[in-house]
Amino acid sequence: MDSKFLAETTLEKISDENWIGSLSKNWNIGDVPNGGYLLAVVLRSMQQQVGSKGLISVSAHFLRPGNTDSQVEVKSKMLKDGRRISTYEASLLQDGKESLKVVADFGDLSSSTKNSKLIHIDPPFLPPPEDCKTRSSATQGIELPIQKRVEVRVAEMKKKTERAELFGWVKFCDSTPPDPLALVFFSDAFPPSIFTQIAKLGWVPTVELSVQIRRVPADGWVLGHFYTDDLHNGSMIETGRLWDSRGFLVAQSRQLALVGT
């Protein structure tokens, strides 16, 4: 199976620390590439540099919007090569300017320690994806070319709440199985949870996004729960969690984004 996510996040390697290529318009929110997509492009290049270790944590700072008209370059370097965790730093550049700064940790998600007590968060109960609403550009107030690549189903909760929170399901339109890089993208693929209280805000650009990968996901729909912790002075803090088809917590995220830009 040909994966659009793999093909459209892979750049050409020109050295051990540099990659170049272009961005696809199919991951846009309006005219701007989705932040999670930009981050996945960088992480795909970093993963080539890292080798066998898998992504376990990433923190990204979005310095300026990306665009699909200019060539992109990714520069990556190792900060530390540890026994359990290796840390790398990377930048995405367009037109000679840095658009995205990334620090990521790579390790072995399958490893465990004998003295670890298992603590986990169970997923919320949701209607099945077929009983949930497809993400709507009319509701969000902006065109969503990204819907060509990722399918997001938003659940309508029977019990209304004043909390700005959102529940739903996500998967790639071509049924590409989820992996750690996909989880990072999925963490930024849902409508912002503040939309449940304030509709049609349009583009809500990410300032900073941190994602921790907790387990390698199983195939199938991924369940998401996102809620706004704080909205003040034109910005919001949002917490998100993702569970795989087995009901295991596979990722947790924290995001600072601008509202009403």
Q: Are 15 and 64 in contact (CB under 8 A)?
A: no
Q: Work out the mean pLDDT of the chain and round it to a whole number.
A: 92
pLDDT at 1 over 70: no
Query: For residue 220, what are the CA distances in angstroms to 182, 223, 244?
Result: 12, 10, 7
pLDDT of residue 181: 98
Check pLDDT > 80 for residue 35.
yes
The sign of the torsion formed by the CA atoms of 198, 259, 237, 98 equals positive
Region of residue 209 (phi > 0: left; psi between -120 and 50: alpha; otherwise: beta): beta
Domains and CATH numbers, the chain: 4-108+126-258 (2.40.160.210)
pTM: 0.94
Is the pLDDT at 80 greater than 60, yes or no? yes
CB atoms within 10 A of CB 98: 14
Q: Is the pLDDT reported for residue 115 higher than 60?
A: no
Residue type (1 letter), 103: V
Start-to-end C-alpha separation, the chain: 39
Q: Residue 100 belongs to what H/E stretch?
A: strand 97-107
- Residues of the chain with pLDDT > 90, as a percent, come to 80
Residues 194-235: tens digit of each pLDDT: 888 886 677 789 999 999 999 999 999 999 999 999 999 999
Q: What is the DSSP letter of 216?
A: P
Residue 249 pLDDT: 97
Contacts (Cβ under 8 Å, ≥6 apart) of 75: 17, 18, 90, 91, 93
